[in-house]
Amino acid sequence: MTAVITAERGDGTLTRQGLEEYVSDAVILLDHRVYDQLSTRRLRIVKYRGSAHGTNEYPFLIDEHGFSVLPITSLNLDHEVSAERVSTGIPRLDAMLGGEGLYRGTSVLVSGTAGTGKTSIANHCALASCQRNERCLYFAFEESPAQIIRNMRSIGIDLQPYVRGGLLRFHAVRPTLHGIEMHLASMHKAIEEFQPRLLIMDPVTNFTSVGSPTESKAMLMRLLDYLKGRQITSIFNSLTGGGDALEQTEVGVSSLMDTWLLLRFIESSGERNRGLYVLKSRGMAHSNQVREFRLTPHGVELVDVYVGPSGVLTGSARVAQEAREAAEAVARQQEIERKQRNLERKREAMEAQIAALRAGFEAEKDEVRSIIRQEEEREAALDANRVHMARIRQADGRSMVEG
């Protein structure tokens, strides 16, 4: 007969009597801890005779679905992968990602300091998913759904029709509402109910307020494997501090992500402009260049960073340099046109001189011909006069000829 015995912990022993853990074949230790006023239940298998078992502590939940344990060590790297590509909704970002966008079912990390445009990129992806008639689940931990929808209208993204149509669902709560494991359980439940093709978490760094970076990373690792096993594309926004190194995240999940987009401010000429990098994108040839990142009334625009004589230029410095180069190009074109006009005038003068010389030559030729003709006529008249005189003198033929 299998027997299940419950017991309370003793002082320095697993049980109050200190005997039950020795005679039992399996001992499961349950613990309930409070960290920063947030409680988390944990489970550990102390022993299990005749069986290989995990010895780590595993968080567990008790909710309306019963008792659930999601240990990180129980997840295997055996999920299927897809070769299908999906658009981010930003054409030039798709071009930077091998020309076709993201692989379906992959994970994307968008990191940057406050105000760099992480939420704007995430909402572009959400809009593109809805336009493909695919469901998107949006976990927001800083802004309410109404605020996100209102703010996105300023860059030409209207999400309200898709919320009403059931393609986009927001799940907005403060991270401090639950412990980190309860958040994971609620995410699993929301995903199972909604069955999205795209999931967005904005931002993941807020989980450090309800757990340590190690706990946050463990939770995200379990969530990532869960999403990849269901071929759900995921986007995680990560806020970095101004003094932090750019190529790291507070929760340390960059190594888990398939694609990493870094947004940062580029300061020059008294301005702060945005730049976007693709730090990595597994399985595809991606751009290694920086793109200037603009938020416009018709959405996100990526433009090539302008390299001027003094280095990389963005914003008004770029506009001023382009204006100077445009003015210089106009000046060069005007100089070319001036030289062409001078050359044309010289050609016309030369042709006029040639025409004048040709006209003079023709006039002189006509004059010479006239003189020659007059001389010939005079010689002919003289010959005629000699013949006439000879006849008057009655000279013989020889005399006439000789004369």
The pLDDT value recorded for residue 244 is: 46
Average model confidence (pLDDT) across the chain: 84
Residue 69 within any structural domain of the chain = no
Yes or no: say if 76 and 231 are a contact pair by the CB < 8 Å rule.
no
Residue 182 within any structural domain of the chain = yes
Give 147-151's long-range contacts (Cβ < 8 A, gap of 24+). 148/119, 148/123, 151/119
Residue 388 within any structural domain of the chain = no
Higher pLDDT, 261 or 18: 261
pLDDT tens profile 293-335: 889 998 898 887 666 666 566 666 666 767 777 888 888 888 8
Alpha-carbon span 56 to 78, nearest angstrom: 22
pLDDT at 136 over 80: yes
Phi and psi at residue 25, in whole multiples of 5°? -80, -30
Residue 369 within any structural domain of the chain = no
How many alpha carbons lie under 13 Å from residue 285 in its C-beta half-sphere? 1
Residue 349 within any structural domain of the chain = no
Residue 75 within any structural domain of the chain = no
Provide the pLDDT confidence category of residue 156 given band limits of 50, 70 and 90.
very high
**Dihedral sign, CA of 347, 349, 350, 356?**
positive
pLDDT tens profile 94-122: 999 988 899 999 999 999 988 889 999 99
The pLDDT value recorded for residue 289 is: 84
Residue 316 within any structural domain of the chain = no
Phi and psi at residue 56, in whole multiples of 5°? -80, 170
Phi and psi at residue 129, in whole multiples of 5°? -65, -45
Find all residues with CB under 8 Å of 130, minimum gap 6, and list them.
136, 159, 162, 165, 167, 168
- Please give the tally of structural domains in the chain: 1
CATH number at residue 245: 3.40.50.300
Phi and psi at residue 400, in whole multiples of 5°? -65, -40
Determine the structural domain holding residue 210 and report its residue range.
85-304
pLDDT tens profile 191-243: 988 999 999 998 888 777 777 777 788 888 888 888 988 999 999 998 886 54
The pLDDT value recorded for residue 400 is: 46
Residue 10 within any structural domain of the chain = no
The pLDDT value recorded for residue 249 is: 56
